[in-house]
Amino acid sequence: MSRYEIDFLEQYTDEALLSELRRVAALLPEGKRLTKTSYENLTPRVASSTVRHRFGGWRIALEKAGLGLLYNGRIVSQKMREQPIKRMSNDALVAELRRVHVLSEKGWLTSDYFNAHSVTSEDAVRLRFGSFRKGLAAAGIPHAPYKQRLRTDEECFENLAALWTHYGRRPAYREMSLPPSTIQAKTYVARWGTWRKAVKAFVEWANSEPSGDLGPDPGSAISGSSRSPEIPRTGVDCREVRPGLRFKVFQRDHFRCVACGRSPATHLNVELHADHVVSVADDGKTTFENLQTLCQDCNLGKGRTSMR
């Protein structure tokens, strides 16, 4: 039997927030620094923004939780960590960048590695040179190569649809950097100019997806199929539900399973399916009217029932 646990804090006292920081920090590999990104990636019970607003900053919260920052595997306070920079000239800071670069044994240097192995931090470099990348340039060190996979409009829209379904609402810009998103918000901005324009383009894509004939089934010409490849079945006769139509069905059903009421926004590990009310085997059509939202458990249960 599935066991469900509360995935949020029951109370938001200072000590409860600090305890959550300590709990998440214990999940990190030894020597790994607890950053806002690593914190959010570990599915915390309270958002990093709540922690920052409560204590006046992320680093202040870390120090109050007794975490501080890591230097050579040892926890030190931010004040101790940044003392050396006050005595460092530009040349000394450049020399520190080069020292850590040699330790990395790579052709480039990342800010995360520098933070974990330097007597100072990337913030010190940024304040002195304007940015960490400019500090690397002054030291003659390449920045880590940026690899970006070219995404199609369809992939961007499907990712946004998955996030919209996950939260049960339009995802915020910052949430595009968090799981289950696989595409960064900056990719949308680069493609459409602004985040708002990207959302508008997505809405137009979702609304333009026809609810009737969706074109030929791409699987109809597969070798070995029982159907004749010369007569492909039309969209309404296909079992496959196109992304835009699936999203419209989820939106109509308020991103909840119509059988049990569960939603990805309120229950962990819930996956929604667009299910045929009348099955394709019984001549049901892949149309907006013949589709309903079911979670994976209810959909599987329905399948087992129909086989009896």
Count of CB atoms situated within 10 Å of the CB of 125: 27
The list of the chain residues with pLDDT below 50 reads: 1-5, 70-85, 211-234, 307-308
Tens digit of each residue's pLDDT (9 = 90 or more) over 120-160: 878 788 888 888 889 999 999 987 765 556 788 988 999 99
Domain range summary for the chain, segments of one domain joined by +: 14-67, 78-139, 153-307
Alpha-carbon separation of residue 54 from 13, 17, 68, 199 (angstroms): 10, 9, 17, 31
pTM greater than the 0.85 cutoff:
no
47-50-55-57 Cα dihedral, nearest 10 degrees: 70
- Number of H-type helices and E-type strands within the chain: 14, 4
Alpha-carbon separation of residue 155 from 151, 205, 243, 249 (angstroms): 6, 12, 10, 19
Please give the pLDDT value at position 216.
38
Please give the pLDDT value at position 136.
92
CB 178 within 8 A of CB 184: no
Tokens of 120: 């100072």
Please give the pLDDT value at position 125.
86
H or E, element range at 273: strand 272-276
CB 143 within 8 A of CB 112: no
Please give the pLDDT value at position 80.
42
How much of the chain is in helix, strand and coil states, percent to nearest 5? 50, 5, 45
Reduced to 3 states, what is the DSSP secondary structure of residue 174?
Answer: helix
